Amino acid sequence: MIRAALLGLFLGLFGGVAAAVDANEPFDDPVLNERYQSLIREIRCPKCQNETIADSNAPIAADLRRQVHQRVAAGQTEEQIVEFLRSRYGDFVLYRPQVKPSTWALWAGPFVFLGIGALVFWRVLAGRASQPLDDDEAVPDEDAAT
Amino acid sequence: MMPELGQLALVLVLCLGLVQATLPLAGAALGRAEWMALARPTAAGQFVFAALAFGILAHAFLTNDFSVQYVALNSNTELPTFYKFAAVWGGHEGSLLFWITVLAIWTLAVAWSARAYPPEFTSRVLAVLGIVSVGVTSFTLLTSNPFLRLTPPAFDGNDLNPLLQDPAMVLHPPMLYIGYVGTSVPFAFAVAALLTGRLNRDWARWARPWTIVAWLFLTLGIALGSWWAYYELGWGGWWFWDPVENASFMPWLIGTALIHSLAVTERRGIFKSWSVLLAIAAFSLSLLGTFLVRSGVLVSVHAFASDPTRGLYILMLLAVISGGALMLYALRARYLEAEGGFKLVSRESFLLANNILLVIATGAVLFGTLYPMVHDALGLGVISVGPPYFNLMFVLPMLPLVLLLGIGMHAVWKSMAAAVLWKRLKWLAVGALVAGGALPWVLFGTTSIMTMLGVIAGLWVCAASLLDPVRRYTVARHLPPLTRAQWGMALAHLGVGLFVLGATVTSAYTVERDFSTRPGETLRAGDYEFVFVGLREVAGPNYDGIEAEFELRRDGELVATMRPQQRTYRVQQQTLPEAAILSGLHRDVLVTLGESLGAGAWSVRLQVKPLVRFIWLGAVVMALGGLLAATDRRYRQPVREPARAKAAGAPVPAEQRS
Amino acid sequence: MWRYAVPLVILGVLAAFFLRGLELRPGYIPSPLIGEQLPEFELPSLTDPAASVTADNLRGQVSLLNVWGTWCIECRHEHGFLVELAESGVPIYGLNWQDKREDALYWLSTLGNPYVASAFDPQGVLAVDLGVYAAPETFLIGRDGKILHKHISPLTPEVWRRDFLPLIAEECGSLPCPLVGPE
């Protein structure tokens, strides 16, 4: 539930919204529609060269969209549908990597980078703040704010 | 006979490159002026023969010479002449020849401007460029020769991939390559500086305009690629975090950091280590991109025909060139450090944060792009990392960066009081907060936290960028007019703001509807009605197709007629949709024809995308800003003596403040 | 002081991974179904629409399940070898995927029919259940219905000798394998 909301939010910021023309009927229920639309944008077409099943024109993509559509209509949750596809095609078809020991580094990485970055910032600043402000070579101050 | 001449020309490029890579370098170390002087003529010679080779390949395409294998694979007699020329860089081998030619042009430009720099420095810079040239030219001749013959010659060619037959295609690779290859110039400057063993402020001032020009072409190239994908594929997508897209984006991010780092080095003489490392990183990422695209290590729609042997060669190039530079850095970097203090609230501090955040963003993109390969190499299985990961991890460092951007450009060097900044900016901040929070609600009816944050950030950056120009021409008219560099900075940052606005609004508020429809029906999407008038057959120079006609109406009034097509390209028998796009600054409307569903029904996709043009407008404005900044008068002045007298506190003469 | 060597070390580590990466096949998806049971299914038979093909048909023997379609050029390449295998006693079941019945029947009548029976799956229902993504694919099914192996791309004599025969021997205990065994 939270994942779906987060998905919508973050997809909304920079996500490229692209899709093949879908032969499946849109859902009347906006919750189901949202679930379907967000799922097909997270599943990778197993045969294509790096496209979602939403984007791809390949027949396998159409088959997979149909399967997702049927299962959403049957009331399955996102986790159930993702697991269904994962158990048959492997982790390859998930564009959102599952969080498990082998991907902890992946998900934690950027946060660790941020931590290191903050540390670097404070250390450099601490070093520089104690140095003299004068230069040995003066340069015309063309960027001076007033 | 001509293709063999082309191959000979390439061999000559290689030979001249070998001379350029060795003798000037030795000459600079040994003090032999006549060896150093070889750098410029060899650069000129490389250009002549590279251009000749390129011209011969282009000639082969334009004269339908299907005895050349590369031409037979990428062209066709029915291909329009315009695209025959563009096909020269449409495949792996030809694009490498293009790379070599662009490198030769950059090298010549540096050689020509070299009169401004000391000869030991210039000869080293040109020698490094020569090393790069030798690497790429040898790679081309040994593994990817575009002049190989096809015997017996083909009767007709395979045709250019229909996806590539588009005007934007003609511009996108050249812009991108000029940018990619251009990162070799600051790289050469950095390595030359490390070799020289000393790095003064002039180095940064020399390197900066080259960096900005390469960066601005990279900006345009990436924007064109995004626009082309949007326009050509017609599905409304403009960025997918595909490995090849990431490969071009990472040098751009580091290039941006480099431009800003060089500003600090130029002004204060500090951050030299940062600048040198960023310069090495930018070109290394370009080489890495070349590796990723051509080796088959990653799967991508953009990848050229992949070949692990080629991959191995490029990896060796990367190891030698980048590894060599980093080794030099490891040995010499401690001599770069200089004294120069600054406080928490200062321009240097903001630029430090800028450097760090951009490096983190690049790191996150690199991490996500390479993780599947690392995961598999460790025997852990095959996984995919896609937009859900990248969208989150990219925004993480970039949102703070964008917010800090608005403040940082108003900070003074060395130290300032936070209260002064606050006083200058507080109304702008409040305005952006209120407008950004309210406008999405008012205009579109729904919103989310991320959307509001994005709009606030975009408005904030736009306003903060325009503050100085507006002030300079209204309340602060007593001050000297803005320099070109300052205009450039304002425009470039404005471009960032426009981009953020466009990306946020279009991602959040795009309307997308699929329909199954018959002629005569009216469909609705957004505020528009689409009347399906009918279908007819069309034929183009190398394709046949079906065209649908839609009337776009708003409140009953006709706005435009839209004609999406489904084209079947005859030679490759590929069927591609050609979307009908009505573009405007405030929104785009797209109609894409899908398949025939039988019984006269067709599947159709309608999209209304608000502010999507701001994405590319932002990029163009950024590039324009870069152009202005790079052509500022202080970069066109001859080398100045270090102004040691200024340290005594003498007033700066008016004419030196460019 | 040694921090200056950090970038070089990072490059070295990356280069080592790239070297290894050149040997991998990034688009190849290993099947997670190896060792799992064949999924239950019931599909109409290609040749006789009134009859069905189910998972039970494949149990009780060691057999092959071959995914094919008339649109698939590579399937054409392996067809001759499949006919040979069938004639030598290997039970092969077909999964006709995303195809038209008339085209498929024509193909079999002109090129030979190596299949004991072919399931007709135009919508890819069983195909998705099996994680099929690119024809031709061939599954080796054990006597209890366990999926022993999956091969993607045309089946050739070398692949048969190298990958399939050892597994068949293991399943049956000795060569030649009694391919039709007691229930």
DSSP B505-570: HHHHH-EEEEEEE-TT-EEEETTEEEEEEEEEEEE-SSEEEEEEEEEEEETTEEEEEE--EEEEET
C26 at A interface, C-beta within 8 A: no
**Average pLDDT of the segment spanning B485-512:** 94
Contact (Cβ atoms closer than 8 angstroms) between residue B92 and residue B144: yes
B388 at A interface, C-beta within 8 A: yes
E strands, chain C, where?
42-44, 52-54, 63-68, 92-97, 117-121, 137-141, 147-152
Provide the domain count of chain B: 3
Q: Which residues contact B462 (CB under 8 A, 6 or more apart)?
A: B494, B497, B498, B501
CB pairs under 8 A between A and B: 242
pLDDT, chain B, mean:
89
With beta carbons under 8 A apart, name residues in chain A contacting C32. Answer: 86-90
pLDDT recorded at residue A20: 57
State the number of CA atoms in the 13 A half-sphere of B572 facing the CB.
20
Instruction: Based on the fold, state whether residues B297 and B407 are members of the same structural domain.
Output: yes
Please state which CATH number belongs to domain A2-93.
Answer: 1.10.8.640
Query: Among residues B378, B413, B448, which one ends one of the domains?
Result: B413
pLDDT band at B444 (very low <50, low <70, confident <90, very high): confident
pLDDT, chain C, mean:
87
In a domain, B46, yes or no: yes
With beta carbons under 8 A apart, name residues in chain B contacting A134. Answer: 647
CATH assignment of the domain containing C124:
3.40.30.10
pLDDT recorded at residue B595: 79
d(CA B500, nearest CA chain C) in Å: 32
Contact (Cβ atoms closer than 8 angstroms) between residue A31 and residue A82: no
Share above pLDDT 70 across residues of chain B, in percent, rounded to a whole number = 96
Q: Under an 8 A CB cutoff, do A46 and C29 touch?
A: yes
Q: B550 is in which domain, residue-wise?
A: 511-610
pLDDT recorded at residue A49: 76
**Average pLDDT of the segment spanning B239-254:** 94
Confidence check: pLDDT of B459 > 50: yes
pLDDT in tens, B537-579: 999 887 899 999 999 999 889 999 999 998 888 877 777 888 8
Q: State how beta strands B580-583 and B565-569 pair.
A: unpaired
In a domain, B32, yes or no: yes
In a domain, B144, yes or no: yes
C83 at A interface, C-beta within 8 A: no
pLDDT recorded at residue B235: 75
With beta carbons under 8 A apart, name residues in chain C contacting B374. Answer: 17
With beta carbons under 8 A apart, name residues in chain A contacting B406. Answer: none
Provide the domain count of chain C: 1
A28 at B interface, C-beta within 8 A: no
Confidence check: pLDDT of C179 > 70: no
* Distance (Å, whole) CA A53 – CA B559: 33
Lowest-pLDDT choice from A118-122, B316-320, B339-343, B496-500: B339-343
In a domain, B170, yes or no: no
pLDDT recorded at residue C181: 32
pLDDT recorded at residue A15: 32
Instruction: Based on the fold, state whether residues B159 and B204 are members of the same structural domain.
Output: no
Q: Which residues contact B67 (CB under 8 A, 6 or more apart)?
A: B3, B149, B150, B151, B153, B154
Confidence check: pLDDT of B53 > 90: yes
Whole-Å CA distances, B509 to A17, B453, B552:
11, 15, 20
Q: State how beta strands C147-152 and C92-97 pair.
A: unpaired
**Average pLDDT of the segment spanning C80-105:** 90
Q: Which residues contact A47 (CB under 8 A, 6 or more apart)?
A: A58, A60, A61, C133, C134
Instruction: Based on the fold, state whether residues B102 and B157 are members of the same structural domain.
Output: yes
Write out residues in chain A with pLDDT < 70, as ranges. Answer: 1-23, 135-146
Q: Under an 8 A CB cutoff, do A67 and C33 touch?
A: no
pLDDT band at B649 (very low <50, low <70, confident <90, very high): very low
Q: Which residues contact C101 (CB under 8 A, 6 or more apart)?
A: C46, C49, C120
C27 at A interface, C-beta within 8 A: yes
With beta carbons under 8 A apart, name residues in chain B contacting A136. Answer: 269, 647
pLDDT recorded at residue B637: 65
pLDDT recorded at residue A9: 40
- In terms of Cα–Cα distance, which of B216, B294, B289, B224 is closest to B255? B216
pLDDT in tens, B18-46: 999 999 999 988 888 888 889 899 999 99
pLDDT in tens, B126-136: 999 999 999 99
Contact (Cβ atoms closer than 8 angstroms) between residue B60 and residue B1: no
In a domain, B523, yes or no: yes
Binding-face residues of B in 585-604 toward A, CB within 8 A: 592-595, 597, 603-604
Token look-up 């909301």 returns: A5
pLDDT recorded at residue B84: 87
Confidence check: pLDDT of C19 > 50: yes
Nearest-CB residue to C127 (from A63, A86, A92): A63
- Crossing angle between the packed helical segments B449-473 and B418-444, to the nearest 10 degrees: 130
In a domain, B426, yes or no: no
Task: State the DSSP code for A49.
Answer: S
Instruction: Based on the fold, state whether residues B95 and B203 are members of the same structural domain.
Output: no
pLDDT band at B656 (very low <50, low <70, confident <90, very high): very low
Q: C138 is in which domain, residue-wise?
A: 34-172
Q: Which two tokens stand for residue B475?
A: 């309340």
Binding-face residues of B in 32-71 toward A, CB within 8 A: none
| Burial tier of A62 (Cβ tally within 10 Å: 0-12, 13-18, 19+) | buried
Handedness of CA A38, A44, A48, A51 (dihedral sign): positive
**Other CB atoms within 10 A of residue A74 CB:** 9
Confidence check: pLDDT of B644 > 50: no
CA B320 and chain centroid, separation: 25
Token look-up 């989310």 returns: B448
Whole-Å CA distances, B139 to B69, B87, B193, B277:
18, 21, 27, 26
| Burial tier of B373 (Cβ tally within 10 Å: 0-12, 13-18, 19+) | buried
pLDDT recorded at residue B264: 93
Instruction: Based on the fold, state whether residues B14 and B134 are members of the same structural domain.
Output: yes
Instruction: Based on the fold, state whether residues B135 and B212 are members of the same structural domain.
Output: no
Q: What are phi and psi of C132, to 5 degrees?
A: -75, 135
* Distance (Å, whole) CA C125 – CA C122: 8
- In terms of Cα–Cα distance, which of B231, B113, B245 is closest to B176? B245
* Distance (Å, whole) CA B202 – CA B206: 6
pLDDT in tens, B392-427: 999 999 999 999 999 999 999 999 999 999 999 999
pLDDT in tens, B168-207: 878 899 999 999 999 999 999 999 989 987 677 788 889 9
Binding-face residues of C in 96-125 toward A, CB within 8 A: 98, 123-124
Token look-up 């996806």 returns: B163
Is the confidence metric ipTM above 0.90 for this complex?
Answer: no
Lowest-pLDDT choice from B104-118, B474-488, B635-649: B635-649
Which of A10, A55, A92, A107 should be substituted to probe chain B, the one whose Cβ sees the most B Cβ atoms within 10 Å?
Answer: A10
pLDDT recorded at residue A3: 46
Q: Under an 8 A CB cutoff, do B377 and C17 touch?
A: yes
pLDDT recorded at residue B638: 58
DSSP-based three-state secondary structure for B606: strand
With beta carbons under 8 A apart, name residues in chain B contacting A106. Answer: 367-368, 371, 385, 389
For residues B333, B334, B338, B342, the Cα torsion angle rounded to the nearest 10 degrees is 90
In a domain, B357, yes or no: yes
Nearest-CB residue to C134 (from A47, A63, A64): A47
Q: Under an 8 A CB cutoff, do A63 and C123 touch?
A: yes
**Other CB atoms within 10 A of residue C12 CB:** 14
